[in-house]
Every structure is written in C-alpha cells, then in structure tokens.
Amino acid sequence: MKPEFATTNLSKIKPKLRTQGRVSGNFGKNKVSAGSSLKSLGETKGNVGNLPKQEEYLRRLNVAFEETTDSKLKRFIYEQIRDIRIQNGTW
C-alpha cells in the first residue's frame, strides 16, 4: 500500500529559493528593499532648542540639590554631579 502523498501532486511541488541579490546565505527570506519606511519618524521641522552647556547643567543641579527635600531626587542629582565631576577630573 502506497502513502497518499505518493499519488498526489503535492510531492512534485518544488519550493522557490529566494535570496537578497546575490547569494549571501539569506535563504528562505523574501526580497526586501534597502532602508526603512520609518526613517523619518521622530524628525521635526520645528525649533527644538539648545541643550545647556555642562557648566550650566552642573550649576542647575547644585541649585536643585539644595532646594529639594525628595530623597530619590537628591540621590539622582548627587549621582549626576558626581559623574560630571569625575568626567572633568574635579572629583
């Protein structure tokens, strides 16, 4: 007795081999175009503004550290000040 697939056309279907351009080991993947359709996501045409200089940021952190009473915020500010001063070599 023969299996059913031996008498049907299913055993004769050959899968197509699809690669990206030349053979690069990407077997079984569909052809895709280069780049992303989401490339412009996050871009803005508006005026974004400027980041403060590191000295100004450090001054603002010191003021905030003296004014706040929240322990978590104080810890974050302290770590930021420490990291900046270590980076500048003034710690």
Tens-place pLDDT, residues 51-70 = 889 999 999 999 999 999 99
Q: Where are the domains of the chain?
A: 54-88
Give the DSSP H/E element, type plus range, for residue 80: helix 71-88
Mark the ranges of the chain whose per-residue pLDDT is less than 70: 1-41
State the Cα torsion 63-65-69-71 to the nearest 10°: 160
The token duo for 22 is 């030349």
This prediction has a pTM of 0.47
Q: What is the pLDDT of residue 80?
A: 96
The total of other beta-carbon atoms located within 10 Å of residue 68's CB is: 13
